[in-house]
Amino acid sequence: MLLNKSNRENKKVSLKGAVQINHSSFFVYKDKSGNTFLKTGEDEKLHKSAVQNMINSNPHIARLLKRFRIKPNIDTKTLNELTCGHMNETCNIAIGVYSLLSGDIKSHVDKESLKEASMLHDLGKVLIPSKILNKPAKLNVKERKIMNIHSTLGYELLKTQDLSEETLSLIRYHHQNLKHSGYPALPQENTSSDIGVQIISIADKYSALRESRVYRRRLSRTEALLILYREVREGKIMPAVYNALFRYAELYDLD
């Protein structure tokens, strides 16, 4: 069900998850009356309202923003670009990689959580200042610290929504690696599937390398695969997951 403009402005909406239809990502929203509807990242007012509701429902977010001296500004332009581009593509790659893994490895991963998490993984960037997000040069130490909290912010924003623990964990740790030297640090009692994190992480990196960014050109398929192969040699990426990405790229990433 789609809301008309006046309804949209007056009713509170919340984000309930994400789905993929015909290889395109949509956010699943629920209005106050319980009606569910789908949207891409293009409806600015709707997204602003949903993200504002998430901030209001979790006081930890305001504390986190204060600690890092970030003004609570919701950048829906970024969310739109991310939904229609990078997050959608990360989901396509993650599901492609998953489907090319052996049954034994696949059995450690919940496919639906992987799908949903990859569609939502960078939602936290909606609160990262655009001068950092779009800086056409290397980030300094302070800026890098701020940028690196986007996965924690995404987790905090979404943890009051109706998402599974596995989805939330994949969003929170999508910048972790096999050596656990990524961010944020994993807790001692970590129960999330390393393989799920490996898949979302390699899909995220490959998607990013194959896009042009303000600070670098789009890399070729071979260049992107070589960069990720270095991470296999450093023990950060599981060889089986890399091999599945390699086959995915050969089969589907044709330009």
Question: Binding residues for Fe ion, per CB under 5 A?
Answer: 122, 204
Please say whether the beta carbons of 134 and 82 come within 8 A: no
Q: Taking the complex as a whole, how short is the minimal distance between the CB of residue 126 and Fe ion, in angstroms?
A: 12
8-state DSSP, 3? P
**Taking Cα atoms as reference points, which of 95, 90, 92, 146 lies closest to residue 122?**
90
Please say whether the beta carbons of 207 and 248 come within 8 A: no
Distance CA 29, CA 50 (A): 8
Distance CA 191, CA 101 (A): 21
Distance CA 87, CA 130 (A): 17
The letter for the amino acid at 62 is: A
CB-nearer residue toward Fe ion: 35 or 85: 85
Q: Taking the complex as a whole, how short is the minimal distance between the CB of residue 40 and Fe ion, in angstroms?
A: 17
CB-nearer residue toward Fe ion: 75 or 122: 122
CB-nearer residue toward Fe ion: 13 or 97: 97
CB-nearer residue toward Fe ion: 122 or 194: 122
Q: Taking the complex as a whole, how short is the minimal distance between the CB of residue 174 and Fe ion, in angstroms?
A: 6
Q: Taking the complex as a whole, how short is the minimal distance between the CB of residue 205 and Fe ion, in angstroms?
A: 8
